[in-house]
């Protein structure tokens, strides 16, 4: 049961594929006391019956270091009940001390980096410029990467650099790379072909040099077949999202819009709690829409984020859902082949 907690709508980077509404509208920072109560309530409801994971995210969560540590300490206090926690950061405000403080509380750190400097800096930039982003981020992290994961976003134009990206991040010290597709990418036929070629290359590289590296991408690591993240009405397979404005939402992709415009998407708040029925209704709508438009029953990673993102932007989600699905099946097939036990068909 994954709870995504958004600490604020502020970030010190301006990545061109970021769809979150950041920095442009009124500042929203999560209320600490209310958030702690919400964490306790979530743990009380699910811990024991389910594995509970809480992801702390932003904007950039390290901007709010004291708030981040307060939530991390509370989650650490619940660790004995099977609760785990991680933080997703751009790494620019990390220091070796901060990395160690999070590790001491058992909080996993995922750094968003997209491969080598050319691919990363093509899309991920610091506000105000100031030089190449990747080099500065790695310098900040100060060699404290042995337990950190990298979130590696693949875009149409950077897909051909996949192998170089893997080499660069392994050299930097990462041991687990989590591949994600840019959600709002409209893949062209040429782009899909190039992605296929890059994934074949990654397969060859992985077999020759991937020893010791872990790969992740939620659904992509499952065997082919119905994906509970997309096909099951079980709420355990759907993230619950707590926005920095203190309201709960069915998916973080709706944060493409400012909080002031998100009333129709809210499924509860910190005072009243979660309206689980309403949340399920919204997911059921998404599931029905997606299933009606995809001819292929198999889903590695559910395109529900693409659905919610397009809806929040006032667009017909069909094209985005199909585009995401096509690219994700290429990625999922490749990773499944890569990770299949030796001798498997
Ligand atoms: S670092 Fe993350 S939150 Fe900040 S602009 Fe980039 S993608 Fe968006």
SS3 string, 316-343, reads CCHHHHHHHHHHHHHHHHHHHHHHCCCC
Residue 197 forms part of a structural domain: yes
Q: Which two tokens stand for residue 280?
A: 């399920």
CA distances from 182 to 17, 99, 156, 159, 267 (A): 7, 27, 8, 11, 26
Gap between the terminal Cα atoms of the chain: 32
213 DSSP β-pair partners: none
Domain assignment present for residue 131? The answer is yes
Task: Calculate mean pLDDT across residues 127-137.
Answer: 83
231 CA to middle of ligand 1, Å? 29
Q: How far is the CA of 60 from the centre of ligand 1 (A)?
A: 7
State the CATH number of the domain containing residue 78.
3.20.20.70
Asked whether residue 272 is domain-assigned, the answer is yes
Which pLDDT score, from 0 to 100, does residue 139 have? Answer: 86
CA angle, residues 26, 30, 32, in degrees to nearest 5: 145
Q: Using the atom order of ligand 1, give the atom closest to the CA of residue 57.
A: 3
Q: Is residue 344 part of a domain?
A: no
Weakest-pLDDT range from 23-32, 54-63, 197-206, 328-337: 328-337
Domain presence at residue 333: yes
Do 77 and 105 form a contact (C-beta atoms < 8 A)?
no
Give the position of tokens 């958004």: 6
Cα separation of 294 and 297, whole Å? 7
pLDDT (average), residues 278-305? 85
pLDDT tens digit sequence for 30-42? 999 999 999 999 9
Residues near 272 by Cβ (< 8 Å), separated by ≥ 6?
none
| C-alpha closest to that of 162 among 129, 190, 185, 195 | 195
Pocket of ligand 1 from Cβ distances under 6 Å: 11, 13-15, 18, 20, 22, 58-60, 90, 112, 124
Report the pLDDT value the prediction gives residue 318, as an integer from 0 to 100: 97
Out of 3-12, 169-178, 207-216, pick the least confident: 207-216
Are 86 and 108 a contacting pair, CB within 8 Å?
Answer: yes
**CA 93–ligand 1 middle distance (angstroms):** 13
State the closest ligand 1 atom to the C-alpha of 90, by its place in the atom list counted from 1: 1
Residue 168 lies in a domain: yes
Residue 345 lies in a domain: no
Most confident of 184-193, 230-239, 270-279, 283-292: 184-193
The whole-angstrom separation of Cα 258 and Cα 248 is 14
Number of domains in the chain: 1
> Has this prediction a pTM greater than 0.75?
yes
Q: Measuring from atom 8 of ligand 1, which residue has the nearest CA?
A: 18
Give the Å distance between the CA of 210 and the centre of ligand 1.
Answer: 28
In this prediction, residue 343 has a pLDDT band, given cuts at 50, 70 and 90, of low
* Parent domain of 79: 2-339
Residue 23 within a domain: yes
């Amino acid at each position: 049961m994954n709870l995504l907690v958004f600490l604020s709508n502020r970030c010190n980077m301006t990545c061109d594929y970021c769809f979150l509404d950041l920095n442009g509208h009124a500042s929203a920072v999560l209320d600490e006391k209310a958030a702690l109560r919400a964490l306790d309530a979530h743990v009380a409801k699910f811990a024991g019956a389910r594995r509970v994971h809480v992801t702390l995210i932003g904007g950039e969560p390290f901007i709010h270091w004291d708030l981040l540590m307060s939530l991390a300490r509370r989650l650490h206090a619940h660790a004995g009940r099977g609760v785990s926690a991680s933080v997703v950061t751009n790494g620019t405000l990390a220091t070796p001390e901060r990395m160690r403080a999070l590790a001491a509380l058992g909080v996993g750190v995922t750094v968003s980096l997209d491969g080598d400097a050319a691919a990363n800096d093509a899309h991920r930039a610091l506000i105000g410029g100031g030089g190449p982003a990747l080099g500065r981020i790695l310098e900040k992290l100060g060699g404290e990467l042995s337990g950190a994961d990298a979130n590696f976003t693949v875009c149409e134009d950077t897909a051909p650099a996949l192998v170089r990206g893997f080499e660069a991040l392994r050299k930097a010290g990462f041991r687990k790379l989590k591949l994600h597709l840019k959600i709002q990418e409209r893949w062209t036929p040429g782009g899909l072909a190039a992605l296929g070629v890059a994934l074949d290359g990654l397969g060859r590289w992985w077999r020759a040099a991937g020893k010791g590296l872990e790969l992740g991408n939620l659904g992509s690591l499952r065997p082919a077949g119905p994906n509970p993240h997309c096909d099951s009405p079980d709420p355990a397979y759907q993230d619950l999202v707590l926005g920095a404005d203190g309201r709960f939402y069915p998916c973080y992709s709706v944060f493409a819009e400012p909080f002031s415009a998100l009333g129709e998407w809210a499924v509860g708040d910190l005072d009243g709690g979660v309206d689980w029925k309403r949340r399920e209704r919204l997911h059921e709508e998404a599931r029905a829409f997606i299933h009606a438009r995809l001819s292929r029953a198999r889903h590695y990673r559910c395109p529900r984020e693409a659905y919610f993102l397009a809806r929040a932007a006032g667009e017909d989600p069909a094209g985005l859902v199909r585009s995401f699905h096509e690219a994700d099946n290429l990625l999922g097939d490749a990773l499944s082949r890569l990770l299949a036990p030796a001798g498997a068909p």
